[in-house]
Chains A and B, each alone.
Chain A
Amino acid sequence: MSEDDERQQSLPSDIEFISNKARNCNATGSGSGHPEFQSAYPDQVLENVLENVLHFLTSKRDRNAASLVCKSWYRVEALTRYELFIGNCYAVSPVRATTRFTGVRAFHLKGKPRFADFNLMPPDWGAHFNPWALAMAKAYPWLEKVHLKRMSVTDDDLATLAGLFVGFKELVLVCCDGFGTSGLAIFVNKCRQLRVLDLIESEVIDDETDWISCFPEGESHLESFIFDCVECHINFEALEKLVARSPSLKKLRLNRHVSIGQLYRLMIRAPQLTHLGTGSFSHSEIAGQGDQEPDYVNAFVACKSLVCLSGFREIVPDYMPVIYPVCANLTSLNFSYANITAEQLKPVISKCHKLRIFSVLDSICDEGLQAVAATCKELCELRVFPVDAREDSDGPVSDVGLQAISEGCRKLQSILYFCQRMTNAAVIAMSKNCPDLVVFRLCIMGRHRADHVTGEPMDDGFGAIVMNCKKLTRLAVSGLLTDKAFDYIGRHGKLLRTLSVAFAGNSDMGLKYVLQGCPQLQKLEIRDSPFGDAALCSGLHHYYNMRFLWMSSCSLTRHGCQEIARAMPHLVVEVIRSADEEMDDDIEILYMYRSLEESRTDAPRFVTIL
């Protein structure tokens, strides 16, 4: 089941009926095999043809469309879907998913809502991978890939993945938690075919297990090994040996406990790397002062295929020049953990003509962004993070930097920009200079901050973005915003799928404009805005088409949410409160999502499902 499946016409009863038929079809689930001719289907030949044709259909949206054509297409599509994407782990049960799709080899699953990342929700809310792991163990013995985002994964789950799926090749965990180094140890040890182990922005418990040593001996199939988020010390000798026996290794991202000297040793063993996360990029504390410095420049020169560079977790700016040899080939550079100045950035960025993806800290100031704009004409994605993430911190980047980027980087498609000062003029300029924008996320960190030159709300700026950027699908707004901004969004944001709102709007009208105006809206997350029950009710026509709605610290009441829950049986309406608060009429957090199931049974006590 994927995000676009749930139209109002596909009620559970249809799916149950069709699932039964699929079971009777006696298919093995393999795309290339033919179902046995047990039951006499009149269009069996047509189904075989269809099966072979659908084999080539990979986009999940295309597949969803194909599955709606007729029952026969539905059945065959279900047999041939190898890659299953579930955008909300509670929208469908593991049993239902594994019953419908019998041939899955790659599985994507997302759990917690994004605002949970910012401590807006107590931990232990849910999104446990365990029931999925068990269901898949039964249904998909040939499973190869699992991608999880914001899920709770335990050490046992990792053991299950490694132990029960013989051909398991690829594990990607993004923003996950609940597991530790002992789970990793078991996983890497048992997974003999492992090609990809990517731990991205996940919290890994330090059980003080030397998991790197647990990779099996002999040649490894590793192609991608990303563990930059793992905060534990690692056994470097074991890592060095592992890299030495991984001839296919292309992507390696080290954590900050790997010093630059150790990085050198790894690089000379793996000159075939295309993606490198450099670790700390400084000396370890115990490095000898008088030791001969290795020839770092040569190590980088040797990595002729390097296109993506990241890490620099504790960068010593003196070492920056060693990366000059690879700059000209870089398409992706992540300096977002490197507290460097504009002067330190310039010699690097001026060489990065092919750069398409760039992340950086605002320590480079507007001047640094001007340097980026001057060179990086191919830039598609830009993320500017704050060194000091507080509302009242100094703001080294501003409208000046944004304006410069808009003028220099005309191909920009995605931007995330944290600042303290912004003007409508700069945002409007970006909307005109960068018409290809698909993602526009501007975070003015001071709440309710107006245009710092005119004193106006930021309505017109964001209005221009939705008007001029016709491909826009994701928008995050901030600053002082009135209902007018939402009027613009509702009128012009016709392709908008994700909208994030914080401390904005004046009245229910704001939310109404959006819910009534944006037909493609899938994910709406709102905090601290004056939207109430009436606004919530104005979206009833649309909620089954959305993945979720999050509203926290708004003006909702229990009564209003109850009305929604009553009106929409396939919507799970969760009211979440801080663990120590008692349930009262005002709602702290509303999280609601469509689901084919009854409300979940694993909800903690601070969650009430209406």
Chain B
Amino acid sequence: MEVNYDNGLNLKATELRLGLPGSDEPERQTTPRSNKRTLSEISSSGVTDDGNDYQQDSAPPAKEQVVGWPPIRSYRKNCIHATGRYVKVSVDGAAYLRKIDLKVYRSYPDLLKALENMFKLTIGAYSEREGYNGSGYAPTYEDKDGDWMLVGDVPWEMFISSCKRLRIMKGSEARGLGCV
């Protein structure tokens, strides 16, 4: 890949960085207002990739969501999601993901029952204090800001409009969440 620089010194070429030659990193990746990265690091290991077959030039360790990018007004983003809300569902340890239409369900118990049926597991009941303690599974979702949240905390309508994908965590990680 040819990268031309009009200035004399091509310091970038000899710079040591992670990333394929010719790719570039901006000085600032995100504005300071961008998001806490709690579970995203954990999630990117356990969850299969989106299936992008075109190669990204830099090698991003985690897919950081940047504020205001792509430049679409939030009104439009909300409107499009308002119809037919298909989201991916992953379960730790499962070989492949499923997709469900959130619009089909009317409430959290409705959704959880469907997930239990789909994946043949028990999630149990939600409690504000203890989450899903006792079941060994915790349903989580990625919200609009890119944060991983426990399913059940916010009103159903708010959940529907902000949920981008679901992940059913299992084992010790799940228990950790339940105790928050």
* Chain A residues packing against B (C-beta within 8 Å): 115, 117-120, 201, 203, 229, 256, 313-315, 336-337, 339, 361, 385-387, 389-394, 418, 420-421, 443, 445-450, 452, 455-457, 480, 482-484, 487, 502-503, 506-507, 509, 527-530, 552-555, 578, 581, 588
Best-buried of A118, A387, A487 by chain B (most CB within 10 Å):
A118
Interface string of B64-101 (1 = CB under 8 A from A): 01111111111111011011100000000000000000
Interface pair B63/A528, CB less than 8 Å apart: no
Interface pair B69/A448, CB less than 8 Å apart: no
Interface pair A530/B31, CB less than 8 Å apart: no
Q: Of A483, A552, A553, which contacts B5 at CB under 8 A? A: A483
Interface pair B83/A339, CB less than 8 Å apart: yes
Q: Which residue of B lies closest to A201 (CB)?
A: B75
Shortest Cβ distance from B172 into chain A, in angstroms?
A: 28
Q: Of B2, B12, B52, B69, which contacts A118 at CB under 8 A? A: B69
Q: Does B57 contact A (CB under 8 A)?
A: yes
Contact A446-B56, Cβ < 8 Å, known A120-B68, A581-B32: yes
Shortest Cβ distance from B148 into chain A, in angstroms?
A: 15
Q: Of B52, B75, B83, which contacts A229 at CB under 8 A? A: B75
Q: Does B128 contact A (CB under 8 A)?
A: no
Interface pair B6/A483, CB less than 8 Å apart: yes
B interface residues, how many (CB within 8 angstroms): 48
Interface pair A456/B2, CB less than 8 Å apart: yes
Residues from chain A with Cβ under 8 Å of B5 in the complex: 482-483, 506-507
Interface pair B57/A450, CB less than 8 Å apart: yes
**Given the complex of chains A and B, what is the CA–CA distance between A455 and B66 in angstroms?**
24
Interface pair B27/A554, CB less than 8 Å apart: yes
5 closest Cβ pairs, A-B complex: A118-B68, A553-B28, A389-B72, A578-B33, A445-B70
Residues from chain B with Cβ under 8 Å of A527 in the complex: 68
Interface pair B32/A482, CB less than 8 Å apart: no
Residues from chain A with Cβ under 8 Å of B2 in the complex: 456
Please tell me which stretch of B18-26, B107-115, B116-124, B131-139 contacts chain A, meaning at least 4 of its Cβ atoms lie within 8 angstroms of it: B18-26
Shortest Cβ distance from A336 into chain B, in angstroms?
A: 8
Interface pair B75/A447, CB less than 8 Å apart: no
Q: Does B14 contact A (CB under 8 A)?
A: no
Q: Does B4 contact A (CB under 8 A)?
A: yes
Q: Does B1 contact A (CB under 8 A)?
A: yes
Residues from chain A with Cβ under 8 Å of B68 in the complex: 115, 118-120, 527
Residues from chain A with Cβ under 8 Å of B16 in the complex: none
Q: Of B12, B58, B77, which contacts A389 at CB under 8 A? A: B77
**What are 12 A-B pairs with beta-carbon distances under 8 A?**
A118-B69, A118-B73, A313-B79, A389-B72, A390-B70, A390-B164, A445-B70, A448-B23, A449-B56, A450-B23, A450-B57, A502-B69
Residues from chain B with Cβ under 8 Å of A337 in the complex: 76, 79-80
Interface pair B57/A480, CB less than 8 Å apart: yes
**Given the complex of chains A and B, what is the CA–CA distance between A120 and B164 in angstroms?**
21
Interface pair B69/A391, CB less than 8 Å apart: yes
Interface pair B54/A361, CB less than 8 Å apart: no
Q: Which residue of A lies closest to B77 (CB)?
A: A389
Interface pair A578/B31, CB less than 8 Å apart: yes
Contacts A418-B72, A450-B22 known; list 15 others, CB within 8 Å.
A117-B71, A118-B68, A118-B71, A119-B67, A203-B75, A313-B83, A389-B70, A391-B63, A447-B26, A449-B56, A450-B23, A457-B3, A509-B6, A554-B27, A554-B28
Residues from chain B with Cβ under 8 Å of A389 in the complex: 70, 72, 76-77, 80
Q: Does B157 contact A (CB under 8 A)?
A: no
Interface pair A480/B24, CB less than 8 Å apart: yes
